Amino acid sequence: MSMQTLYTGATGMESMQMKMDVIANNLANVNTTAFKRDRVNFEDLYYQKIKLPGAQDAFNNYAPTGISIGLGSRVQSTQTIYEQGAFDITNHPLDVAIEGDGFFQVIDPSTNNFMYTRAGDFSVNSNGLLVIGSSNTGRLVQPQISIPIDTTGIVISAEGNVSIQQFGQQQFSQVGQLQLAKFMNPEGLLQLGENMYQETLSSGPAIFGQPGLNGLGVLRQNSLERSNVEPVNELIDLITTQRSFELNSQSVQAGDQMLQLVANLRRF
């Protein structure tokens, strides 16, 4: 008797386990700023061909169907779903959300590598430069924007114009321009953690532009984009994945019991 049942069921269990890991990560990041959920895609494995469709018999008749036995499943890919998240109104002048397509470009001072993010929780470092508000690494926003120490007000327009009001002055003056980057295939970006992505050959090169132009989104000051994870949908997916894992484990148990029955036939 073939042991293929055991291996086929095991591939299903492994696939469901990986899907469960992705669901757990989605749920863990339900409150992560601008987080984009992942989706798992599956594919069936190679088929064992016992008889091919259209096989010819001794009477020159063609078989309308064949005999094939599937060998299980595996994860085909995980895709990041870049749907727009809802907005949190923070009333913090350096919080900027992207409404539509696009990423902020930043540079890591330790590696000089360019990275991309949709999390616009900005801050100002000790040199007065605009950075991502992270306690780990002060990644500089590109192009660099300097905020003077005597700034009393900051206004960021939907088109990315950064204007400030300095102490003792009534008028606002522009000190920089926020740009957005767009990719031909954002699903090809490399996920680095810390809300950061990196360009790859699959994503294509970054195309920069002013917010609101050429298909790029606009900016919303005093707001942050929420995660696009829907907890109810993820919980439903979690339950069905758990049940699928159990069903695959039962097929492994059934195959094992059948093998035991065959092995014990010599005793009768």
Task: Note the pLDDT of residue 268.
Answer: 54
Strands 87-89 and 223-225: antiparallel
Instruction: Give the predicted TM-score (pTM) of the model.
Output: 0.86
How far is it, in rounded angstroms, from Cα 62 to Cα 54? Answer: 5
Q: What is the pLDDT of residues 171-196, one digit of tens each?
A: 899 999 999 999 999 999 999 999 99
The residue ranges of every structural domain in the chain are 4-42+74-82+229-267, 87-225
Task: Note the pLDDT of residue 1.
Answer: 46
Instruction: Please tell me what DSSP assigns to residue 267.
Output: G
Residues of the chain with pLDDT under 70: 1-2, 58, 266-268
How far is it, in rounded angstroms, from Cα 207 to Cα 161? Answer: 19
How far is it, in rounded angstroms, from Cα 156 to Cα 159? Answer: 8
Q: Which residues pair with 58 in a beta bridge?
A: none
Q: Would you state the structure tokens that stand for residue 197, as one six-digit string?
A: 């992505």
